[in-house]
Amino acid sequence: MILPVRAAAVGVITLALNGCATEGGTALPPGEGHLNGAIVVFAAASLTDSFTTIAGSFGEENPGVRVTLNFGGSTGLAAGILAGAPADLFAAASSETMRAVSDAGLAVEPTVFARNFLAIAVPEGNPAGITGLADFADPAKRIALCAPRVPCGAAAARVLDAAGINAVPDTLEEDVRAALTKVELGEVDAALVYRTDVLAADARVDGIELRQAAGAGNDYSITRLSDARNPRAAAAFATYVLGPKAQDLLGEAGFEID
Amino acid sequence: MLWIPAGLALAFLVLPIVALVLEVPWERLLELLSAPEVGTSLALSLVSAVLATALSLLFGVPLAWVLARSGAWPVIVRRLLRALVTVPLVLPPVVGGIALLLLLGRRGLLGQYLDAWFDVQIPFTMAAVVIAETFVAMPFLVLAVEGALRAADRRYEDVAALLGASRWVVFWRITLPLIAPGVAAGAVLCFARALGEFGATITFAGNFPGVTQTMPLSAYLALQTNPDAAYALSLVLLTVSIAVLVSLRDRWVAGVTT
């Protein structure tokens, strides 16, 4: 039996901000500003917190639009989009996963909106005394990595490769939040996640920065999808993510922005 | 009139399987299934499902015996006992995995002592796979065996006891042979359920090729990057399931329903 684990664990967060739309109250002509309808955003698991906040703020400014967010590993989301999942926008955690969608001719203007860096996450207080990447080669340490097919796993492979470390992970998680959860629960001694994940789980997780490590960075891009059912609102959301307010929120979450 | 909804129901159950079989890349099947990872995950799946079935037999048959012979107990106790045994059957497997993590994880209710006193950590090991599968599959065996026990003629046992056989001899020489078909049916169902286990496994045991990555996990993860491999793996699981069904034939009815 195959169950949609991520859907159960993370869930689809619906921000129902409808109802306060000004019906006929504004004089704006249709096509300018008066957005409505629903949009579905497929976003990388590492964007869970920032995109939830951004979608909330977008919804306040565009009360006619209902934003539904679906988070997961970028690779799985891309596979879903290629298989015809009804999404209006795709926010990927790496250029490779975005390329899978744009090569299929489904992406309209993919644009980089933030950059993220890997970091080592350890349970609070660092009980196993992890000091750096070298510990990832220690079989006595419990290590979680992302599966190589998802962006955080690809980045982890790059970083470990560049550092000449032959890591011995105990589990390969299907997205970065699953790896982070294993650290939060104290089930592993360390995991390679993004620095934004360490910040998001501040209370239960300590982090070791890897910003200087070669290959530690990933470019995040967002695109409207060519078969979006609500292209106007989708374009507005993509623009909003590149705008000052969303960029500030991303910066606060630990992303590098221009 | 009932023919139309009945036909729709049948089509609903059969068509997905047809679609899967049609999509299997038959000409590349051998090549896809001869990849070393497939062999590893198939072997892991078979071994862990056999172990889970063995554990279920060892502990589940006695539990079924207690349930079937609880006639003299207060109704409330009997009902509670039955409900407790049935819970894993109706519980979403992911919840089972979370619960196992909270019991046997490194910071779990019992797991913290296993870790501190014996340096034993269960998550991310093959033992965790077997435990997750046993948790989910044992109720199938218990209920099947309990049904067989209730249906068995107890006079044979009474006669054996009257002739001086000890309770153990009665159980081993009389009861067990009487209910053998029920035990076999329960074991086959239990094995099939264990083989297909996904949610509790990925939650409690993690995902690592050769250690905890069973066939259903391989199939689920392959779908993101190599759909053809996912279809081929699904076909293997489908074949095993049908083999199970054929081996059960009418025993399902005899063993499970009472």
Q: Residue B132: name the closest of B96, B106, B103 by CA.
A: B96
Instruction: Flag whether pLDDT at A51 surpasses 70.
Output: yes
Give the pLDDT confidence score for residue B225 in this predicted structure: 81
The neighbour count for residue B74, using CB atoms within 10 Å, is: 9
Residues B138-188: pLDDT tens digits?
A: 999 999 999 999 998 889 999 999 999 898 999 899 999 999 999 999 999
Contact B221 A147 (CB under 8 A): yes
Instruction: Flag whether pLDDT at A31 surpasses 60.
Output: no
Residues above pLDDT 90, as percent of chain B: 71
Contacts of A2 in chain B (CB under 8 A): 198, 216, 219-220
Contact A195, A119 (CB under 8 A): yes
Which of the four pLDDT bands, split at 50, 70 and 90, describes residue B243?
confident
Give the pLDDT confidence score for residue B224 in this predicted structure: 80
Contact A225, A91 (CB under 8 A): no
User: Which among B105, B198, B216 has CB closest to A185?
Assistant: B105
Residues A64-75: pLDDT tens digits?
A: 999 999 999 999
How many angstroms separate the CA of residue B50 from the nearest CA in chain A?
Answer: 18
Compute CA A178 distance to the chain's CA centroid, rounded to the nearest angstrom.
Answer: 12
Which of the four pLDDT bands, split at 50, 70 and 90, describes residue A33?
low
Contact A186 B216 (CB under 8 A): no
| Angstrom distance (rounded) from CA B175 to CA B166 | 12
Calculate mean pLDDT across residues A106-120: 94
Mean pLDDT score of chain B: 91
Instruction: Flag whether pLDDT at B257 surpasses 50.
Output: no
Instruction: Flag whether pLDDT at A116 surpasses 80.
Output: yes
| Domain assignments of chain B as residue spans, ordered by start | 37-256
Q: What are the structural domains, with CATH classification, of chain A?
A: 5-18+38-115+218-252 (3.40.190.10), 117-217 (3.40.190.10)
Calculate mean pLDDT across residues A199-216: 87
Contact B208 A170 (CB under 8 A): yes
Which of the four pLDDT bands, split at 50, 70 and 90, describes residue B217?
very high
Residues B61-117: pLDDT tens digits?
A: 999 999 998 888 899 999 999 999 999 999 999 999 999 999 999 989 999 999 999
DSSP characters for A20-40? ---TTTS-PPTTSS---EEEE
Which residue in chain B has the smallest CA separation from A188? B106
Instruction: Flag whether pLDDT at B253 surpasses 80.
Output: no
Calculate mean pLDDT across residues A5-33: 39
Which of the four pLDDT bands, split at 50, 70 and 90, describes residue B1?
confident
Which of the four pLDDT bands, split at 50, 70 and 90, describes residue A32?
low
Contact B198, B132 (CB under 8 A): no
CA end-to-end span of chain B: 31
For B31, phi and psi rounded to 5 degrees?
-60, -45
Instruction: Flag whether pLDDT at A91 surpasses 60.
Output: yes
CATH number for B37-256: choose from 1.10.3720.10, 3.40.50.970, 3.20.20.370, 3.30.70.600. 1.10.3720.10
Q: For chain B, where are the E strands, in sequence order?
A: none
| Angstrom distance (rounded) from CA A91 to CA A87 | 11
Instruction: Flag whether pLDDT at A8 surpasses 60.
Output: no
Longest dimension (CA), chain B: 67
Report the DSSP pairing between strands A171-173 and A190-194: unpaired
Contacts of A172 in chain B (CB under 8 A): 206-209
Total beta-carbon pairs less than 8 A apart between chain A and chain B: 75
The neighbour count for residue B22, using CB atoms within 10 Å, is: 9
Residues B2-38: pLDDT tens digits?
A: 999 999 999 999 999 999 999 999 999 999 988 888 8
Beta bridge partners of A107: A225
Contact A9 B209 (CB under 8 A): no
| Angstrom distance (rounded) from CA B158 to CA B171 | 11
Contact B105, B123 (CB under 8 A): yes
Which residue in chain A has the smallest CA separation from B217? A2
Give the pLDDT confidence score for residue A5 in this predicted structure: 37
